[in-house]
Structure 1
């Protein structure tokens, strides 16, 4: 896995904006939890359109407009290699407790699949994809989530993986999951605390977007809502 010196270092969470659809509300929700703003290539234009100035713009710069380059002069970090995606370039260039990624999949299925691939391969920093309806993250070996009974929880494997569960309507114990075999979408919460354990990497967890804070509490030690300082990059 390619390594690089970090471009952005923060003791707080980072909001990463890419070139896909991002609303003003999306960005406000993310910045309230991860106040350091970074853009992936054309996401620099998205940030400017929403009235925000990212601390850094990272990518191969095949999407950022000329106007965006001018407005963000001194903040653009051009990584021209074509072996990895802009999302990958950003994650390996950020050192922070966690990243909230917005607009990274967009309307293209191939982009979305590439993002999921990176999400599983890069275990640091912790990264959560925040979409219009869902929150997606790579499951750690053990996970405890406080959720509402009846809520949707989906598990999607990007590699062969088995696990154990407590608190799911349909337990997963001993099931051999695989992307070309059994998947675990549209399960449901049966108890207020869900416990999951996996025998290896590769499982994506998909929750309703309203459970973003619950996911952060489970994934980021010591995180609590309202603990961040004012958003930077304005």
Structure 2
């Protein structure tokens, strides 16, 4: 899947691992200007033999004890004890402070679903400051800009999820198109559509919209 109308150079992106279900296969690290993880994600990265020297920082309150192996990387630790914020939230704050404009996130979904919903809500809080894209074993998902082009998606399931209300949505290339329609979390959502063309165009006027694209 390719996205257009985002406009973020590859060299201005961060790769962030957090403590959900770990990716089955770790992504390539080439091209990222910053790589980080939460303290919980540190464990699965170690188990998957991720090259820890590539991490720029490990953030958290360290309630997930890192053990003796973690002591080797203490110079990378950033202690963030604020219990009013999640480790994901605190990691995004650090990334934003370092001037990064976009973040690719792994480990945000799966397991306890309140964590997934919490992570989505945190992304909403940062949507005007960071372009956050989530990746899991099933899909890629993100808060969509008002004008979005998806390429190379024919046959893929694409879901449009209002957060909580999205108005004036018009689509091209979906099997069930929308024409200046409204999606409302309390009335109508747009899940389980699929791309009937290679290119899908999604435009909307007001509100916020989460787009899920099948891998």
Verify same fold: TM over 0.5: yes
Cα deviation for residue 200 of structure 1 reads 3.1
Structure 1 position 33, deviation (Å): 5.5
Whether 1:187 and 2:193 are equivalent positions in the alignment is yes
Is this contact kept in 2: 1:153–1:207, CA < 8 A? yes
Query: CA separation in 2, counterparts of 1:175 and 1:74?
Result: 52
Could you tell me which of 72, 84, 103 is aligned with 1:99?
103
The 1:24–1:112 alpha-carbon spacing in structure 2 relative to 1, beyond 3 Å, is: closer
User: Which residue, 112, 128, 136 being the options, matches 1:108?
Assistant: 112
Q: Which deviations, in whole Å up to 9, do the C-alpha atoms of 1:28-71 show, x marking residues without a partner?
A: x2424546320012112222222321210112222242335413
SS in 2 for 1:74: helix
Quick check: 2:102–2:132 contact (8 Å CA) kept in 1? yes
- Aligned equivalent of 2:41, options 32, 40, 43: 43
Higher normalized strand content (fraction of residues): 2
Aligned length: 198
1:165-204 matches, cutoff 5 A: 165-204=171-210
Asked if the contact 1:11–1:96 (Cα under 8 Å) also holds between the matched residues in 2, the reply is: no
What's the Cα RMSD here? Answer: 2.1
Distance in 2 separating the partners of 1:64 and 1:171: 49
**1:41-190 to 2 correspondences below 5 Å:** 41-51=39-49, 52-53=51-52, 54-67=55-68, 69-94=70-95, 95-123=99-127, 124-162=129-167, 163-190=169-196
> Cα gap change, 1:105/1:144 in structure 2, threshold over 3 Å: closer, same or farther?
same
Asked whether the 8 Å contact 1:137–1:206 carries over to 2, the reply is: yes
Q: Aligned in 2, Cα 1:148/1:182: closer, same or farther, shift over 3 Å?
A: same
Q: What is the rounded CA distance, in whole Å, between the counterparts of 1:42 and 1:20 in structure 2?
A: 9
Query: What is the CA–CA distance in structure 1 between the aligned matches of 2:157 and 2:76, rounded to whole Å?
Result: 40
Which ranges of structure 2 fall in alignment gaps of 5 or more residues?
1-9
Are the equivalent residues in 2 in contact too, given 1:157–1:183 (CA < 8 A)?
yes
Q: Shift of the alpha carbon at 1:24?
A: 6.1
In 2: Cα distance, 1:181 partner to 1:120 partner: 21
User: How many angstroms does 1:201 deviate by?
Assistant: 4.1
Between the aligned partners of 2:192 and 2:138, the Cα distance in structure 1 is 14
Structure 1 unaligned runs (5+)? 1-9, 210-234
Label 1:171 to 1:157 Cα distance change in 2 as closer, same or farther (>3 A). same
Residue 17 (1) aligns with residue 21 (2): no
